[in-house]
Structure 1
Amino acid sequence: MKQLDHPVSAGSSGTVAEGFAAVREAFDAVAADEPGLSAQLSVRLHGREVVDLWTGDGVDGDSLFALYSSGKGAAHLVVALLVQDGVLDLDRPVAHHWPEFAAEGKGALTLRDLLAHRAGLIGVDEGLSTATLADDRSLAERLAGARPYWEPGEAYGYHAFTIGALTGEVVRRATGRSLQRLYRERVREPYGLDFHLGLPESAEPRYLPVQPLPPALRARAERQAPAPRGLTGIAFNLHAEPPTDLAEFANTRAVRAQGPASSGSVGSARGLAKLYAAAISEVDGRPPLLGPDALAEFTTPHTPGTDLVTGETGHFLLGFEAQGVRYPVLGARAFGHSGAVGAQAFADPGSGIAYGYTRRRFSFGGGGGASENHRLIAAVTACARNAG
């Protein structure tokens, strides 16, 4: 396979490797369908970069976007590494490390249950402030004594704002270091990843603030918004006073600086793709981060049935979203995580694909990755299959 070629069209900027021109065509078609789109797409195959594209005014490959729940993928990669190291045991109760967590009938809940979004700790009755949501330790302290919204371990629902704080507190109690610090030391810095759980001040000039939905689409979204006090509304903190506005949240410097693992990630498509490439492939002369046993464990489906928050079926593997359910063109073991703005990222161990897609503004109905990811992923997988 040749190295990346120079741009060959007047549409997107960036490069693709020989055999991946169809991905550029798909990316350009996405941009043509949504005037004013600012987005990036990066793909690696068996660790090597094969796609590096971007579009939009003021955007380049080094631009940094708010990527929200994409951080859950980085967080759970750290957890997988600690399980692989023997530091964490998936079937040990959370309260073994964190005694306060046992309150309100949560004492038997295991780390495996927690990673499968079975704790029922999707929020608190009175809602949470931005300051608490931005600080994983404060959020964990608030949740430890909270009443779960269903019998722990008996059902599952997406812990949109809380899962990173919960798993992060287990990590902190077991290691004495924050999840964000471990991610920086073990993953981001060794691989030079432009994907952050805690954005340094020096990188702020590259951050492009989130653009909210255009007024017409915003009005439509508001009409279709979930009931604030239903499980979905509580999980997304819509019952708080004031309810959380996602664009305002990400555009707050304190959120970016602290990097809450559930909701505060910032980065580029390049950073996302390289993160997942490192998980499954040799990158920069380093072996894959996850060995066969850890990879098998964390890519096993853990949530049959319906997610009480999102309504999705079979939503999670272990910590990661089941991307093969969302995108059937991928293998059953494809794992990753989306971000609220419409971002998507994953690794597909069967094909060797690592994929990162970012957007600057929200996509209507973009929960779980903006709809254009279906078109882009289809093009990527077809090209990768032909590349061999």
Structure 2
Amino acid sequence: MTTTDVSGVCDDRFAGLRALFAKNIDAGDELGGSLVVDVGGAPLVDIWGGWADRQRTRPWQRDTLTNVWSCTKTVTALAALLLIERGLLDIDAQVARYWPEFAAAGKEDVRVRHVLSHTSGVPAWEQPITIEDVYDTQGAAARLAAQAPWWTPGTASGYHVLNYGHLVGELIRRVDGRTLGRFVAEEITGPLGADFHIGLPDSEADRVADVVPPQGASLDPSAPDPDHIRLRTFTGPLVGPRESLTPEWRRAEVGAANGQGNARSLARIQSVVACGGAVDGVRLLSPETIALIFRPQSDGPDLVLGAHLRFGIGYGLPSPSVPYIPQGRVCFWPGFGGSIVVADTERRTTISYVMNKMGAGLLGSDRTIAYVNEVYAALN
């Protein structure tokens, strides 16, 4: 068996990470992907390898993109933090201050921080709802504004699987006037030079590596009864890997789940958090705004995922369900199938992993865990 050609740069300290990545590609555990470890704004690891397609006819290139699923939420959250930084959005204000229609059906006291931390009580759409309805971003946001909360807002988290970007994005549109995708492009990815898209132009579609669903595993919406919050969330609407293969999905602005990027672009964006708000002279946030991320909003069993999670403002925080994320001033979030981005403010380090062959697990696959553990072993 020949050793996989892994391209890019890798500091000697992380030789074990590179070897593990190559081993997983050789073994078929990986199809294609990319890994980045950024320290202080400089990438000490920026590697990629494998294949962009299931048939293994297109090598994964430096600029290959793929669907990063819920890692998109970290970019959406960062966009909201920019408006908080500028004094245009107050995390403790009622959502209805900016979006009056949202006060309907008992949601008048839902706060901006509830929306950003998955505690709003509105984790999905009421039925009937189709994926085509979700693509109508403003129409879908209006549906959310009209419905009642499924639990008392602020009392628990219930992961906002598919609608996080509709809620946060509509707040951004009401405050700023731009859609989420345009705001991210003009205020985050443009200034940082990050190749990441919420709403992919058709001109970039040839660079996308289709995701490959995990064998024998998928999001399991099973629940004790039809009214259970988990079942209602995962079926409102039910979306799986197949949807991500369509042009309609890629063009839409689904700020919870359809970001197209790679490990380099995700790490570049979130290094702003790890490095105190500025990277290469581009300052997006102050240390005071970054501190908001680490203000706990929930700490307990999530009503949708079932796991014991801790959410701050816009990001997950270390919790019992993710023992591979170290304690400390660290924030993160994974995507369906195993992609992840971690921002460690104590080490000024950002870790990102993006792949096309999805693994099992809602909070990182076995590969995700092994890569993050390898990075921390090298750092320590």
Once the two structures are superposed, residues 14-57 of structure 1 have per-residue CA deviations (whole angstroms, 9 ceiling, x without a partner) of: 32023221221232343345445222111111110111222322
Once the two structures are superposed, residues 222-253 of structure 1 have per-residue CA deviations (whole angstroms, 9 ceiling, x without a partner) of: 8x65249332232222x65xx43x21221121
User: How far apart are the structure 2 equivalents of 1:319 and 1:283?
Assistant: 18
Once the two structures are superposed, residues 81-115 of structure 1 have per-residue CA deviations (whole angstroms, 9 ceiling, x without a partner) of: 11111111111100111111111110011101221
Instruction: Indicate yes or no: 2:156 matched with 1:160.
Output: no
Change in CA separation of 1:115 and 1:200 when aligned onto 2, cut-off 3 Å: same
Return 5+ residue gaps in structure 1 as ranges: 1-8
Change in CA separation of 1:134 and 1:263 when aligned onto 2, cut-off 3 Å: farther
Change in CA separation of 1:361 and 1:329 when aligned onto 2, cut-off 3 Å: closer
User: How far apart are the structure 1 equivalents of 2:323 and 2:79?
Assistant: 25
Partner SS, residue 368 of structure 1: coil
Change in CA separation of 1:13 and 1:339 when aligned onto 2, cut-off 3 Å: same
User: How far apart are the structure 2 equivalents of 1:55 and 1:285?
Assistant: 27
8 Å CA contact 2:41–2:280 kept in 1: the answer is no
Higher mean C-alpha displacement, 13-22 vs 194-203: 13-22
8 Å CA contact 1:330–1:348 kept in 2: the answer is no
Change in CA separation of 1:382 and 1:347 when aligned onto 2, cut-off 3 Å: same
Could you tell me which residue of structure 2 aligns to residue 5 of structure 1? none
Change in CA separation of 1:213 and 1:372 when aligned onto 2, cut-off 3 Å: closer
The runs of 4+ residues in structure 1 deviating greater than 6 Å are none
User: How far apart are the structure 2 equivalents of 1:127 and 1:154?
Assistant: 27
Superposition map of 1:232-381 within 5 A? 232-237=230-235, 240=237, 243-244=238-239, 246-281=240-275, 285-323=280-318, 326-328=322-324, 330-365=326-361, 367-381=362-376
8 Å CA contact 1:331–1:350 kept in 2: the answer is no
User: How far apart are the structure 1 equivalents of 2:279 and 2:317?
Assistant: 27
Could you tell me which residue of structure 1 aligns to residue 55 of structure 2? none
Partner SS, residue 311 of structure 2: coil
User: How far apart are the structure 2 equivalents of 1:88 and 1:324?
Assistant: 28
Could you tell me which residue of structure 2 aligns to residue 137 of structure 1? 138
1:342 is displaced (CA, Å) by 1.5
8 Å CA contact 1:300–1:333 kept in 2: the answer is no
1:209 is displaced (CA, Å) by 1.4
Could you tell me which residue of structure 2 aligns to residue 4 of structure 1? none
1:328 is displaced (CA, Å) by 4.7
1:12 is displaced (CA, Å) by 2.8
Change in CA separation of 1:36 and 1:116 when aligned onto 2, cut-off 3 Å: closer
Question: Structure 2 length as normaliser, TM-score?
Answer: 0.90
Partner SS, residue 370 of structure 2: helix
User: How far apart are the structure 1 equivalents of 2:101 and 2:117?
Assistant: 20
1:330 is displaced (CA, Å) by 2.7
User: How far apart are the structure 1 equivalents of 2:117 and 2:39?
Assistant: 28
Identity, in percent, stands at 29
User: How far apart are the structure 2 equivalents of 1:291 and 1:40?
Assistant: 30
Change in CA separation of 1:255 and 1:27 when aligned onto 2, cut-off 3 Å: same
Return 5+ residue gaps in structure 2 as ranges: 52-58
Partner SS, residue 376 of structure 1: helix
User: How far apart are the structure 1 equivalents of 2:232 and 2:24?
Assistant: 33
Higher mean C-alpha displacement, 157-166 vs 293-302: 293-302
Could you tell me which residue of structure 1 aligns to residue 203 of structure 2? 202
User: How far apart are the structure 1 equivalents of 2:96 and 2:47?
Assistant: 45
1:206 is displaced (CA, Å) by 0.3
User: How far apart are the structure 2 equivalents of 1:127 and 1:315?
Assistant: 31
Higher mean C-alpha displacement, 105-114 vs 205-214: 205-214
Could you tell me which residue of structure 1 aligns to residue 67 of structure 2? 66
1:290 is displaced (CA, Å) by 2.4
Superposition map of 1:110-125 within 5 A? 110-125=111-126
Change in CA separation of 1:35 and 1:339 when aligned onto 2, cut-off 3 Å: closer
User: How far apart are the structure 2 equivalents of 1:341 and 1:137?
Assistant: 28
CA RMSD in angstroms, aligned pairs only: 2.2
User: How far apart are the structure 2 equivalents of 1:379 and 1:163?
Assistant: 31
Once the two structures are superposed, residues 200-222 of structure 1 have per-residue CA deviations (whole angstroms, 9 ceiling, x without a partner) of: 222111011121233xx25xx48
8 Å CA contact 1:44–1:50 kept in 2: the answer is yes
User: How far apart are the structure 1 equivalents of 2:49 and 2:252?
Assistant: 29
User: How far apart are the structure 2 equivalents of 1:42 and 1:51?
Assistant: 5
User: How far apart are the structure 2 equivalents of 1:211 and 1:333?
Assistant: 33
1:266 is displaced (CA, Å) by 0.7
Count of residues in correspondence between the two structures: 367
